[in-house]
């Protein structure tokens, strides 16, 4: 009976470790993307419109849309949304790490019970 429980816990532990590894890889990728977004924000405002390239009412409207629409949405994604995702991911990584520790402790307890049962079979 203990062997079956131990095998089930070992499998659950293996799955949790695999999930943790994937989440950590995902976190690294998202951090890299976040850095790229931060460093590329200025590109939302390019090219700068000069009087000799494009001027007038349409150019002013274009700049307004770019400044108030595009840039604000970019900053929302790069700031609030990305930070929210990274915080949730960090919390899940922490939670899964704790689950792994709990599973390791449960396995150690089962191993001790098994050893004790083998020493005192009655």
Which residues have C-beta within 8 Å of that of residue 122, sequence separation ≥ 6?
none
Structure tokens at 18: 């695999």
What pTM value is reported for the model?
0.79
**pLDDT tens-digit profile of 112-122?**
887 777 766 65
Provide the pLDDT for residue 119: 66
Q: Which residue has the higher pLDDT, 121 or 87?
A: 87
Provide the pLDDT for residue 48: 79
Provide the pLDDT for residue 69: 86
Residue 24: pLDDT above 90? yes
Domain ranges of the chain: 2-119
Nearest to 15 by CA among 90, 109, 112, 99: 99
Mean pLDDT within 74-95: 96
């Amino acid at each position: 009976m203990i062997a079956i429980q131990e095998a089930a816990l070992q499998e659950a532990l293996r799955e949790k470790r695999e999930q943790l590894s994937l989440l950590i890889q995902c976190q690294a990728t998202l951090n890299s993307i976040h850095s790229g977004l931060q460093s590329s924000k200025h590109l939302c405002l390019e090219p700068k419109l000069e009087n000799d390239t494009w001027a007038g009412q349409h150019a002013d409207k274009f700049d307004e849309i770019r400044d108030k629409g595009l840039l604000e949405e970019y900053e929302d994604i790069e700031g609030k949304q990305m930070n929210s995702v990274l915080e949730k991911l960090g919390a899940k990584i922490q939670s899964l790490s704790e689950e792994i520790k709990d599973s390791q402790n449960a396995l150690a307890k089962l191993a001790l019970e098994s050893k004790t049962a083998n020493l005192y079979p009655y």
